Amino acid sequence: MRALISVYDKEGIVEFAKELVNRGWEIISTGGTYNKLKDAGIDVISVDKLTGFPEILDGRVKTLNPKIHAGILARRDLKDHMETLKEEEIETIDMVVNNLYPFEEKLLENADHETMIENIDIGGPSMIRAAAKNYKDVYIVTDPADYKLVLEYIDKKDPKFNEYLACKAFSYTAHYDAVISDYFSKRQGEKFPRYINKSYKLVEELRYGENPHQSAAFYEDSYTLDKIEYKVLHGKQVSYNNLNDMYSALNAVINFEKPAAVAIKHTNPCGIGTGDSLEEAFVKAYECDDESIFGGIIALNREVDVKTAEHLSKIFLEIVAAPSFSKEAYDLLAQKKNIRLIEIPDFEKLYDPGFRFKQVLNGIIIQNSDDVIWDQDKLDFVSNRKPSETELEELKFAFTCCKTTFSNSVVIAKNGGTLALGQGETKRSWAVEEAIERAGEKIKGAVLASDGFFFRDTIELLHKAGINVIVQPGGSVKDQEVIDYANENNICLVFTNMRHFRH
């Protein structure tokens, strides 16, 4: 039995090779791996001696030789294959131990382009794929963590184990090629490349999915240069729903420059607040809906201070996520056993717009992020009554909040905090009715923002409720009816000429 060993990651390889030799295996090797095994006193045959052809082109060509690939690919159960090997004086190779040049590692180091090119492995993937294709006859070992397992199984002749190794090998080369493909696509600046090749690594299995009867796991885009590191400072394992809700909360809170707090329940905002301090911002978010926030997710865009922590500690919350926590705030909140405190030191990286995708029938749809919030130059002050500077700031806040809610949605706001949110309705007037009812008596002096245009029935509802400062995208064939009603009733109406649908 012969094993061809050629690895970049040499951890554990000497011990593994020694054990193979002890079991009667013959070892073939290349380059640095050959030298390491030879220096360890292992009897090893060099590839160039086997092929009769030297390594050339600075090592770019070593194993790309028929005596290597035929030895790997020949089917032992086919008589003509074995006869061909005999005629060509080629011996079988029964195990390939290989891992690849560190392209991904160099990418994370932000290496220059020439270095990246030299770390594209050619011979390695070819050998791995050849051995994996012929897995019934050849062991393909790509993960040093499997060395011990391989030694347990090589005497058992278990075809399921060989297939397990092949599956792992094909996943490995697919990941490797995906990283390279993605690297070149980004260099080309392709907005929507012909193929999207992304690869994700399993990080952990989660307790369950959206519901206890669903299994779930977290996979990470492991080679992104913009990975956002976070630390679970306190609390149990973060769940599937926690990760989903936290993502929604963070994508909402990053839209605000002032100290801000966003409360999320089932991916929906139930309160958003801004203020001169984080404490003020949180109180506004809490007061918007002091019931739904129970068991919710809180995202904050400033370090959590002890005053804010005092408010947080009085409520049952699943997660509090923030750039950092003061020692006093952490000590106070960590007294609560079930709360998860998540620190995101690289908070500014959340502002990277990137792309968003959704799974649909037969594939995915992809779009760039909705990263334009409010364009002052595109505003149309369509009513006779114009907003004051204070009212315009309130409208901007409310419209920004609309960007974070699910359509159809409206936001009633006052003094930099949401009073009520109506969202996820199939009819906009229902969203308005819902928000008006939730705002109650606090509605006097408030403003309203809508994520999409609306008709006369909606502005009539708002006027009757006492809201007379409104922002909406415009763009309907019935816009003039809405404008006429605003002018007849001294309502301030602003069109943004952009909408913020979120589905």
Q: Which residue has the tokens 């990418």?
A: 107
Out of 39-43, 75-79, 346-350, least confident range? 346-350
Average pLDDT over residues 382-405: 94
% of the chain surpassing 90 pLDDT: 65
Res. 54: pLDDT tops 80: no
What pLDDT is stored for residue 407 in this prediction?
87
Q: 321 or 60: whose pLDDT is higher?
A: 321
pLDDT score recorded for residue 352 = 65
Q: How confident is the model over 81-106, as a mean pLDDT?
A: 92
Specify the amino acid at residue 118.
E
Does 59 have pLDDT greater than 80?
no
Q: How far is Cα 498 from Cα 265, in angstroms, rounded to an integer?
A: 27
Token pair in block for residue 497: 């000429």
Does the N-terminal peptide bond of residue 408 adopt cis geometry, omega within 30 degrees of 0?
yes
Check: CB of residue 72 under 8 Å from CB of residue 96.
yes
| Weakest-pLDDT range from 23-32, 55-64, 97-106, 255-264 | 55-64
Question: For strand 363-368 and strand 380-381, is the pairing parallel, antiparallel, or unpaired?
Answer: unpaired
3-state DSSP of 406-472: CCCCEEEEECCEEEEEECCCCCHHHHHHHHHHHHHHHHCCCEEEECCCCCHHHHHHHHHHCCCEEEE
What is the per-residue pLDDT for 353?
63
Average pLDDT over residues 128-149: 95
Could you name the CATH architecture of 228-349? 3-Layer(aba) Sandwich (3.40)
| Residue in the block written with tokens 């408030």 | 446
pTM above 0.75, yes or no: yes
What pLDDT does residue 18 have?
95
Question: Same CATH fold, 380-495 and 2-188?
Answer: no
pLDDT-derived band at 74 (thresholds 50, 70, 90) equals very high
What integer is the mean pLDDT of 240-257? 92
Least confident of 39-53, 266-280, 435-449: 39-53
Does 266 participate in catalysis according to the annotation? yes
- Annotated domain spans of the chain: 2-188, 228-349, 380-495
The arithmetic mean of pLDDT across residues 129-156, rounded, is: 94
pLDDT attached to residue 210: 85
In this prediction, residue 271 carries a pLDDT of 95
Choose the catalytic residue: 133, 258, 311, 442. 133
> Does 133 qualify as catalytic in the annotation?
yes
CATH of 380-495, one of 3.40.50.720, 3.40.50.620, 3.50.30.30, 3.40.140.20: 3.40.140.20
Mean pLDDT confidence for 384-395: 95
Distance, CA of 93 to chain centre: 41
The superfamily CATH assigns to domain 2-188 is Methylglyoxal synthase-like domain (3.40.50.1380)
- Which pLDDT band, with edges at 50, 70 and 90, does 480 fall under? very high
For 279, the 3-state DSSP assignment is helix
d(CA 252, CA 260): 10
Instruction: For residue 354, give the nearest of 271, 204, 247 by alpha carbon.
Output: 247
Long-range Cβ contacts of 427-430 (<8 Å, 24+ apart): 428/452, 428/454, 428/458, 429/454, 429/457, 429/458, 429/461
What does each C-alpha distance from 110 to 99, 100, 154, 264, 365 come to in angstroms?
21, 18, 40, 36, 29
pLDDT at 225 over 80: no
Across residues 186-194, what is the average pLDDT?
85
294, 274 contact by CB (below 8 A): no
pLDDT tens for 408-433 read: 899 999 999 999 999 988 888 889 99
The amino acid at residue 36 is K
Type and span of the H or E element at 165: helix 159-188
Instruction: Output phi, psi for 464, to 5 deg.
Output: -65, -30
Interior CA angle at 176 toward 174 and 180, to 5°?
115
Predicted confidence band of residue 369 (pLDDT cuts 50, 70, 90): confident
Report the DSSP pairing between strands 469-472 and 492-495.
Answer: parallel
Mean per-residue pLDDT, 1-19: 94
Res 48: pLDDT: 83
Nearest to 248 by CA among 266, 275, 231, 230: 266
Name which of 260, 282, 106, 271 is nearest 179 in CA terms. 106
- DSSP β-ladder status, 26-29 and 2-7: parallel
Average pLDDT of the residues of the chain: 91
Comparing 128 with 89, which gets the higher pLDDT? 128
Q: Is-contact 250 229, C-beta < 8 A?
A: no
Q: What is the pLDDT of residues 315-366, one digit of tens each?
A: 999 999 999 999 999 999 999 988 999 999 988 788 766 778 888 888 888 8
Helix axes 79-87, 66-73, angle to 10 degrees: 160
The reported pLDDT for the residue numbered 366 is 80
Out of 266, 311, 442, 463, pick the active-site residue.
Answer: 266
